[in-house]
Structure 1
């Protein structure tokens, strides 16, 4: 399997293909704004905050992959877990759609990329790393947080999927 095929597989599994874990599409399926903004305690993140964090990093790395200059940097990693102000069904649905579209854009970008492009060093990165390695880590990051979303849904009682055997 080429690195391109590998990354495309990881992106599909994170976005909308059932595999060893449920994808983002299932993790967010039927989730209301109220459920998305629920926290098990004051020190935890909500699903909406996690979605915001994932959207931020997927978009940021996609810009970098496309060669776009990134001028604005987050103050801290914690600041990327932003709260939705006045959570409504409309702005929750918009955030969930933006995150899905971000992963779709990644699938398109990798589908159009050459195998050689994935073996190139990441320009202006503080340490030596090649694209396919960073993208594998990005997918692992997505999978980690998708798991958190599902765990939060299980805690709140909103995770009801009949074929959920994991």
Structure 2
């Protein structure tokens, strides 16, 4: 078995599953629910998506050759609520994931131990992938939790229903 190829295949599948699961939660929401937050210090799903996309574009553009924190990235702006429609939010979601999957799908086994930088910190490509797995899963969990809270008894489960 080719361990590097198997790793890339497996991790790609997990990212796809995480993305699809989040999309199933997002599909259940109205436009206003997408922009809801419990208070001014908390993020709406729209803000979480905007942040994730900003991170993906910064980290995965020219992934192997430039620092993952691009000079053009304004992280603080990712937390500003300037998106106003579900279409805008989903365009941002699509851009982030397309950027990410393009880079991930272009990786080869020989890249996995190569050193890249994120915020001037050195990481192997494997470390960078795992760092993003943690980060994206963290935010997808937030998206699902907020969506489930908002939908309450109208929530359509994303996995195996209880008692089944």
Normalised TM-score (structure 2): 0.78
**Shift of residue 122, structure 1, vs aligned partner:** 0.5
For structure 1, the 5+ residue unaligned runs are 17-22
Instruction: Give TM-score scaled by structure 1 length.
Output: 0.77
Deviation track 1:4-62 (CA, whole Å, cap 9, x = no partner) reads 2243123212222xxxxxx2221211322211111112221111011111011011111
Corresponding position of 2:136? 142
Q: Which residue of 2 aligns with 1:56?
A: 54
Contact preservation (8 Å) 1:52, 1:81: yes
Change (3 A) 1:96 1:72: same
CA contact (8 A) 1:7 1:132 kept: no
| Equivalent pairs, count | 154
Q: CA RMSD in A?
A: 2.5
Distance across 2 between alignment mates of 1:95 and 1:149: 13
Q: Any runs of at least 4 consecutive aligned residues in structure 1 with deviations exceeding 6 A, and if so which?
A: none
**1:160 maps onto 2:155 in alignment:** yes
Counterpart in the other structure of 2:23: 25
- SS of the equivalent of 1:122 reads strand
Q: Secondary structure at the match of 2:101?
A: helix
Report which stretch shifted further, 60-69 or 130-139.
60-69
More strand by share: 2
2:8 corresponds in structure 1 to 4
Residues 129 and 96 of structure 1, relative CA distance in 2, 3 Å threshold: same
Distance in 2 between residues matched to 1:129 and 1:138, nearest whole Å: 12
